[in-house]
């Protein structure tokens, strides 16, 4: 299972178990809908990052950033 799928599992777990984690309800508070709207990085942004820092990101990390580029 890749990083993106693991993040999706964490998102689901947090939404279902927020009380046990002593968190606000992310759906009721609107946090989750804001998070869902966050876009992923495009290929140009990933390439620019790699060029700037002279690194090659692992494919699973790139896939994660294509899914969400941060958490807001």
- pLDDT one-digit tens code per residue, 17-40: 999 999 999 889 988 888 888 899
Residue 72's pLDDT is what? 67
Q: Is the overall model pTM greater than 0.75, yes or no? A: no
- Looking at per-residue confidence, does 13 or 2 come out higher? 13
46 and 62 Cβ atoms separated by less than 8 Å: yes
Question: Please, which residues have CB within 8 angstroms of residue 70's CB and are 6 or more apart in sequence?
Answer: 38
Task: Tell whether the model's pLDDT for residue 56 goes beyond 70.
Answer: yes
CA distance 43 to 33: 25
């Amino acid at each position: 299972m890749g990083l993106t799928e693991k993040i999706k599992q964490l998102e689901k777990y947090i939404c279902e178990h927020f009380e046990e984690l002593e968190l606000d309800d992310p759906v009721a508070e609107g946090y989750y809908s804001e998070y869902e709207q966050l876009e992923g990085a495009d290929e140009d942004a990933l390439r620019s990052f790699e060029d700037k820092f002279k690194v090659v990101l692992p494919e699973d990390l790139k896939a994660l950033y294509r899914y969400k580029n941060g958490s807001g």
